Structure 1
Amino acid sequence: MRVARRLGTVTLGITGLTAPLALAFGAQPASAVSCATMTGPYQRQVEAFLGRPVDGRQSAADCKAIQAFQNNYGITPTIGYAGPVTWGVMDFMNKQKAVGRNPNRDGKCPVNKGRIACVNLTLQLTWIQDGKKLVYGPVPVRTGRDGYETRTGLKKIYWRHIDHVSTLYNVPMPYSQFFDGGQAFHSVNLSVWSPPGSRGCVNMTRKDAKRYWSLLRTGDDVYVYGRKPGT
């Protein structure tokens, strides 16, 4: 079965994304890796995201704040450099937050199917709706990386296994709900924002995967659309 690599731990959902975002979680101790002294290409954007003074110049305090963010969200190397990967994760968070409580504003997820789980690959978000009514979410997910893309289209949950272990990768996949071959919703013990992505499954936090388990049943529809950047 498809499963992602272990890269870190996650502490937030969409509802936890508040500005400045670096202050919305308990930062883990930065690793012993040396701090980058170079100014990164996304220095100003990263400083603004983290609530740092926006001067476009790397400082020791900037580096520590960036490094703490990288440690929290499974971004490597954790050297406090404001590079494209770190900014890419932050940019995703900004776009996810902007969706608010209206994730299907584009009307792309069917509203004539009753209860359905929607997955927007472009924004890396999922939610459950019933007609036009939002039932749960939106919450961030981690979908398939390049070469292991989460397949798009209308599907149905055909098998559920609460304590599933991947027979292909020998990795736990708690609260698995399979909807397309080996691709499933399931929880992971890593950051759902950590690059590059899963091996096709829709990775979720344990809290969200558990809630999906309680809300969905075998035979329920799943609609996957969009395209994850970089795939």
Structure 2
Amino acid sequence: MGTLSRNKTVRPVAARRLGVLLGTLGLTAPLTLAIGGPAQAAPTCTTRTGPYQKEAEKFLGRPVDGQQSPADCKAIQDFQTSHRITPNIGFAGPVTWAAMQDEITRRDPNAAGKCPVNKGRIACVDLTRQISWIQDGRTVRFGPVPVRTGRAGYETRTGPKKIYWRAIDHWSTIYKVRMPYAQFFDGGQAFHAIDGSVWSPPGSHGCVNMRTGDARTYWSMLGNGDNVFVYGRKPGT
């Protein structure tokens, strides 16, 4: 028992003495000694070309040739790591491209130029992406924010509109629900806040449903006569 006890005591002391000696000599102790095991290697960068290679190259400012290169892979891998996409091996697949599209939307929701930029202040509604934002010319002033538009049979009507009537605490006599911060732009269709989730299916009865904070900001930034433009098609309609 005495010998075993001395061995347990001597080993860590010997390890510390080795560390001091290596430090004195300007060397570093093996990593296994420092942390008790081998280091975790970085994920291997793939040589495979993904289905969204060209899109990823363009997004990341790489030469766009549609062919994976070590530099392409490292750039894609860094993006995946920063967005917690796994496996982060630099493969330009659908999950990575979806995350890049989200970034594009946040940077410039009107990158495709589908909402008019010659109307001054305008509220844009993209039914396809289920988002809305307010812009002055080409400058986005607020958003994009998530919205819930009309379900099948009650589609939000597309095209140019104008806000013509507003009610900060409107009550729908048709559907018997509150419509806070309601701003009507086409018949009974309006921007307004809802109590539930804007992501809940199947959709509204034609209005552009918003989170309360977003609807409140729209109320403060828009007024009667301001332009609205609705385009695209809600998935499932």
Moved over 3 A (4+): 51-54, 91-98
Equivalence for 2:37: none
Query: Amino acid of the residue matched to residue 189 of structure 1?
Result: D
Mapped partners of 1:94, 1:196: distance in 2: 26
Please, what TM-score do these two structures have when normalized by structure 1? 0.59
Partner of 2:42: none
Q: Does 1:208 align with 2:208?
A: no
Partners of 1:192 and 1:92 in 2: CA distance:
20
Q: Kindly state the Cα deviation for residue 199 of structure 1 after the two structures are TM-superposed.
A: 0.6
Once the two structures are superposed, residues 126-181 of structure 1 have per-residue CA deviations (whole angstroms, 9 ceiling, x without a partner) of 00000011110000000000100000000000000000000101100000000000
Counterpart pick for 1:219 among 225, 234, 237: 225
The question of whether the paired residues in 2 share the 8 Å contact of 1:175 and 1:210 is answered with yes
Three-state SS of the structure 2 residue aligned to 1:149 is: coil
Displacement after TM superposition at 1:223 (Å): 0.1
* Cα gap change, 1:140 to 1:96, in 2 (>3 Å): farther
1:118 aligned residue (115, 121, 124): 124
The match for 1:185 is 191
**Structure 1 residues 186-215: Cα deviation after superposition (integer angstroms, max 9, x where no partner):** 000111111111110000000000000000
* Shift, 1:94, TM fit: 8.2
CA distance in 1, matches of 2:102, 2:182: 24
Contact 1:92–1:123 under 8 Å retained in 2: no
Q: Does residue 1:198 correspond to 2:193, yes or no? A: no
**SS of match in other structure, 1:100:** helix
1:79 maps to what in 2? none
Which one scores higher on RCO, CA 8 angstroms, separation ≥ 6?
A: 1
Change over 3 Å in CA distance of 1:111–1:98 after alignment to 2: closer
- Paired letter, 1:133: T
Q: Determine if contact 1:150/1:200 at 8 Å carries over to the other structure.
A: yes
Task: Work out whether residues 157 and 220 of structure 1, in 8 Å CA contact, stay in contact via their aligned partners in 2.
Answer: yes
After TM superposition, the score normalised by the length of structure 2 is 0.58
Change in CA separation of 1:136 and 1:182 when aligned onto 2, cut-off 3 Å: same
- Spell out, residue by residue over 1:83-112, the C-alpha distance to the aligned partner (whole angstroms, 9 max, x if none): xxxxxxxx9998555512200000010000
Q: Distance in 1 between matches of 2:133 and 2:195?
A: 20
**One of 104, 107, 110 as aligned partner of 2:113:** 107
Q: CA RMSD in A?
A: 2.2
Q: Cα 1:179–1:211, aligned 2, differ >3 Å: closer, same or farther? A: same
Name which of 162, 172, 177 aligns with 2:178: 172
Gap runs ≥5 in structure 1: 1-50, 55-90
Residue 147 of structure 1 is matched in structure 2 by 153
Matched, 1:160 2:166: yes
Amino acid in structure 2 at the alignment position of 1:182: G
Identity of aligned residues (%): 66
Name the count of aligned residue pairs.
146
- Equivalent positions of 1:32-111 (< 5 A) are 96=102, 98-111=104-117
Structure 1 residues 172, 102: CA separation in 2 closer, same or farther (over 3 Å shift)?
same
- The higher radius of gyration belongs to 2
Give the helix-richer structure, 1 or 2: 2
Confirm or deny: 8 A CA contact 1:192 1:204 kept in the other structure: yes
Consecutive unaligned residues of structure 2, counting only runs of 5 or more, are: 1-83, 88-96
